[in-house]
Amino acid sequence: METRKVLSSLCYFSIFFAGFIFPLAVFIATGDETTKKHAKKSLLSHLIPLIPTPLIIFAVFHDFTNLQDTVPAFTIVSIVVLVIIWIVVVIWNIIKGVKVLLAE
């Protein structure tokens, strides 16, 4: 198996063990354009759920400090949307990592 295939697929699979750090390191360190392309794609996909996460966490804590006897609908919807985003990104990274490994 080629090293660039393994390295490219590890960029996608790094969502489980190294977050965006591994694809960033591969993107900076590699000279191979194919590996660099996969590192960039995986880095962007790793950052997608990280953008709304702090905003939603802030909204949740802000809503719960003003809580009276009900859970705000915005909080529940925000949490559900964030979970769906994370699930979609993880599944997408798994599919792309497997495709890169199996590509000829």
* Top-confidence residue, 46 or 58: 46
Q: 69 — phi, psi (to 5°)? A: -145, 5
Give the whole-angstrom CA distance, residue 34 versus residue 36. Answer: 5
pTM value > 0.85: no
- Tens of pLDDT, residue by residue over 22-50, are 999 999 998 888 899 999 999 999 988 88
DSSP conformation class of 69: S
- Tokens describing residue 18: 């190294």
* Whether the Cβ atoms of residue 22 and residue 11 lie closer than 8 Å to each other: yes
> Hey, how many other C-beta atoms are within 10 angstroms of the C-beta on 4?
16
Single out the residue of 37, 34, 81 nearest to residue 55, CA to CA. 81
